């Protein structure tokens, strides 16, 4: 869908078996727009399409793909310039997992990582495997197309739904040898930070965030709470912030939501209404920035989620980049902070780019949240520079002239003040790709609003989807929208690089957290003024219907069940004869009553035996199922970090750090070939660690010039001397 939105001619090839589990799901109306659909089981017809293709996206078990001569080696033999991206079945040390996101989540223990509205595991409706895998495939394809433009040859990329799940969890998985207790505690036990989600007098919910400068004091004043003597960070460390968060519930209950939003925004406190999936499509801002796209369909007026990536040319391009590896030789200037922007730059570093992170002399704000730094800064060089100092101007200009890519995620208007705006970059470096990864987009009514993961979870419907029908919303604590925003921005940069090569011009790329958040539920659309959502999570937070949900078994054990087609439904009926004969795997369709009856039958049958026994029976009958691992946060991360297959495949890496000793984290999840390159740099930069090196080697500054900047405290070089 995203490739089609970027202008690609996309052909979707499907076979002719019986309708699968998602045959009647309306999400395809959005996801398959602007594609040509070819229905065939004829291998020769498929090969004819491949001969003229630039890209093939292949998905399914080996018997369906490689077994029919549709693997990478087969197809690239006849089309050496082909870029082939393969989503393979997921494999860990525990074995292979059927290709369904729910089963991947169950086997890994992901279903127990978010506390629900009842005890036990939940169906966490966060789309982690699917969204992550789409991000990996999209990024890989665009990177390989850039490489092909340089080398003339194609390449391959491989991923899986398990890799996709991990791609969303970079700030959740890590382990250090000697990090401070509060840092290691996050990786071991998870976040205890309050969510600041409040119900107002009219019953509506508002999400509040006050991480920006002065917002905490302003929020206290608006609410009429007692002032904070010590300030935000001290209150957070002493527990006073948690106490305030609890008592603020009674404050918000006194006024309707719209009034609170008006008062809070007037005081420059960030807040957003809590919507359901798709409701934001009615907001005029989305139409203004291209995130709400009107379409006509058989007499209906639809509004679909638009592309999260916008690319347009700027000026004449410079010479093409040369180097080894996928992005070898590419020079990236990363001015971003927090998560989405830095993660995008880290993805480019993982692909071989030389990334310089520019941060304040005291370090960027997220260095206090060490787990986020660990997830988003690997492989970069750090230049500590006071952008606001007058003497910084010549340094900034040399940096902008050096870069192939300039990336930032400042609020609208800040880049102009700092002299790193598009106009300045284009004047100094006409061939650069300039990427602004904003909160709400570069223009429109909300452009100046502050945004973060929590606000985007609220406004895009994420929190309501996770909460389940009729329940209070639930926020995922591992900042999934920030992570999605990083992958979208990385793909945007690569799309800009590909456009630069094709058009011979520099490029402007715009992405946003809002766009990334809308992408998660982009199958939801508006038809004739009403939101069409498709399958939704039930109030008990078990799943979408009898054929795609989790079930409680004997001994308070749980299993995840997927019934992908009529054959599997018939096989399931041999184990549970009371199951209705009609295959209705999901709720919400024309046969909703039958689906609910089937759910009740299965929910009553499974407690007769433990989950492991049921899974064994189901597997013997060819029905996909997995037991749900009851893992706490530490058990979940150990399951990922200590898996020997994950280590062998590079999903997990370990290296020495100056501050934490031996450190383990999720590794580069993009697997591309055939040119291996040198591989990513396994290191975390400390503040200003590479300042002098960059000023001298990359910018050509003299020793005297560098010393003057150091003396004036415009730049900082890390002091490695003993304390």
Exactly one of 386, 482, 510, 538 is catalytic; name it: 482
Q: Which two tokens stand for residue 593?
A: 């009553």
Count other Cβ atoms within 10 Å, centred on residue 232: 19
421 flagged as catalytic: no
* Nearest to 305, CA basis, from 498, 524, 11, 116: 524
What DSSP string runs through 587-619? SSSTTHHHHHHHHHHHHHHGGGSBHHHHHHHHH
User: Where are the strands (E) in 233-309, listed by range?
Assistant: 270-273, 292-297, 300-305
The residue assigned the tokens 């391959």 is 156
- Spatial distance between the Cα atoms of 423 and 429, rounded to a whole number of angstroms: 10
- Spatial distance between the Cα atoms of 686 and 696, rounded to a whole number of angstroms: 18
The residue assigned the tokens 């495949």 is 649
Helix H or strand E segment including 344:
helix 340-350
CB 385 within 8 Å of CB 392? yes
337 Cβ contact partners less than 8 Å away, ≥ 6 residues apart: 359, 364, 365, 366, 409
142 Cβ contact partners less than 8 Å away, ≥ 6 residues apart: 491, 494, 495, 497, 498
The residue assigned the tokens 């007037």 is 266
The residue assigned the tokens 């959005």 is 30
- Spatial distance between the Cα atoms of 550 and 120, rounded to a whole number of angstroms: 11
**Residue 696, burial from CB neighbour count under 10 angstroms (0-12, 13-18, 19+):** middle
Q: Is 80 left (phi over 0), alpha (psi -120 to 50) or beta?
A: alpha
Q: How far is CA 261 from CA 197, 205, 256, 608, 656, in A?
A: 13, 10, 9, 51, 47
Could you give the 3-state DSSP secondary structure of residue 654? strand
- Spatial distance between the Cα atoms of 465 and 102, rounded to a whole number of angstroms: 15
719 Cβ contact partners less than 8 Å away, ≥ 6 residues apart: none
Q: Which two tokens stand for residue 626?
A: 């997995």
576 Cβ contact partners less than 8 Å away, ≥ 6 residues apart: 601, 602, 605
User: Where are the strands (E) in 223-308, listed by range?
Assistant: 270-273, 292-297, 300-305
* Nearest to 337, CA basis, from 462, 212, 425, 184: 212
* Nearest to 664, CA basis, from 648, 682, 641, 633: 641
Catalytic positions: 482
């Amino acid at each position: 869908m995203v490739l089609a939105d970027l202008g690609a001619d996309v052909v979707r090839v499907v076979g002719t078996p019986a309708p699968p589990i998602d045959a009647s799901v309306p999400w395809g109306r959005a996801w398959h727009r602007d594609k040509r659909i070819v229905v065939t089981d004829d291998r020769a017809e498929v090969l004819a399409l491949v001969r003229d293709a630039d890209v093939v996206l292949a998905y399914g078990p080996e018997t369906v793909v490689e077994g029919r001569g549709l693997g990478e080696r087969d197809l690239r033999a006849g089309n050496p310039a082909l870029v082939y991206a393969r989503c393979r079945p997921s494999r860990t040390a525990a074995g292979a997992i059927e290709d369904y996101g729910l089963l991947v989540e169950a086997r890994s223990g992901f279903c127990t990582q978010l506390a629900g509205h009842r005890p036990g595991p939940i169906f966490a409706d966060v789309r982690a495997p699917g969204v992550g895998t789409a991000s990996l495939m999209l990024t890989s394809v665009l990177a390989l197309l850039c490489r092909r433009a340089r080398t003339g040859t194609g390449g391959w990329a491989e991923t899986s739904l398990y890799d996709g799940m991990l791609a969303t969890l970079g700030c959740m998985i890590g382990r250090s040898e000697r990090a401070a207790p509060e840092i290691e505690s996050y990786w071991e036990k998870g976040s205890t930070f309050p969510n600041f989600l409040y119900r107002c007098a009219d019953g509506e919910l508002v999400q509040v965030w006050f991480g920006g400068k002065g917002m905490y004091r302003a929020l206290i004043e608006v609410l009429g709470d007692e002032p904070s003597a010590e300030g935000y960070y001290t209150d957070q460390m002493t527990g006073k912030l948690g106490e305030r968060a609890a008592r603020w519930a009674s404050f918000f209950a006194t006024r309707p939501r719209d009034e609170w939003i008006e008062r809070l925004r007037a005081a420059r406190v960030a807040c957003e209404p809590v919507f359901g999936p798709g409701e934001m499509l009615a907001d005029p801002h989305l139409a203004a920035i291209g995130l709400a796209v009107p379409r006509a369909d058989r007499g209906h007026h639809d509004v679909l989620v638009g592309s999260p990536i916008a690319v347009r040319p700027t000026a004449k391009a410079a010479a093409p980049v040369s180097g080894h590896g996928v992005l070898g030789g590419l020079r990236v200037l990363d001015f971003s902070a927090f998560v989405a922007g830095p993660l995008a730059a880290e993805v480019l570093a993982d692909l071989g780019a030389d990334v310089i992170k520019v941060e304040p002399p005291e370090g960027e704000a997220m260095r206090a949240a060490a787990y986020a730094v660990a997830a988003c800064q690997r492989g970069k060089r750090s230049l500590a520079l006071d952008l606001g100092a007058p003497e910084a101007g010549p340094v900034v200009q040399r940096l902008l002239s050096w870069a192939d890519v300039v990336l930032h995620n400042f609020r609208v208007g800040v880049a102009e003040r700092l002299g790193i705006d598009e106009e300045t970059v284009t004047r100094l470096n006409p061939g650069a790709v300039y990427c602004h990864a904003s909160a709400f987009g570069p223009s429109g009514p909300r452009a100046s609003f502050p945004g973060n993961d929590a606000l985007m979870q609220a406004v895009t419907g994420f929190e309501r989807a996770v909460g389940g029908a009729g329940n209070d919303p639930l926020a995922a604590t591992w900042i999934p929208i920030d992570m999605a925003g990083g992958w979208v921005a990385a793909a945007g940069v690569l799309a800009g690089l590909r456009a630069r090569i094709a058009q011979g011009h520099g490029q402007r790329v715009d992405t946003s957290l809002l766009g990334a958040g809308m992408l998660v539920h982009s199958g939801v659309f508006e038809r004739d003024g009403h939101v069409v959502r498709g399958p939704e999570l039930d109030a008990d937070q078990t799943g979408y219907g009898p054929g795609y949900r989790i079930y409680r078994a004997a001994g308070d054990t749980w299993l995840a069940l997927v019934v992908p087609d009529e054959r599997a439904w018939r096989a399931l009926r041999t184990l549970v004869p009371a199951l209705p004969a009609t295959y209705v795997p999901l709720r919400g369709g024309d046969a909703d009553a039958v689906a609910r009856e089937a759910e009740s039958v299965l929910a009553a049958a499974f407690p007769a035996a433990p989950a492991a026994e049921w899974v064994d029976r189901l597997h013997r009958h060819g029905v996909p199922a997995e037991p749900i691992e009851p893992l706490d946060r530490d058990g979940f991360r150990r399951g990922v970090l200590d898996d020997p297959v994950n280590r062998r495949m590079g999903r997990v890496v370990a290296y020495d750090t100056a501050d934490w000793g031996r450190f383990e984290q999720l590794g580069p999840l993009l697997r591309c070939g055939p040119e291996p390159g040198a591989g990513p740099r396994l290191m975390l930069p400390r503040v200003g660690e590479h300042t002098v090196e960059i000023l001298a080697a990359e910018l050509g500054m003299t020793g005297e010039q560098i010393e003057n900047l150091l003396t004036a405290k415009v730049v900082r070089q890390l002091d490695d001397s003993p304390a």
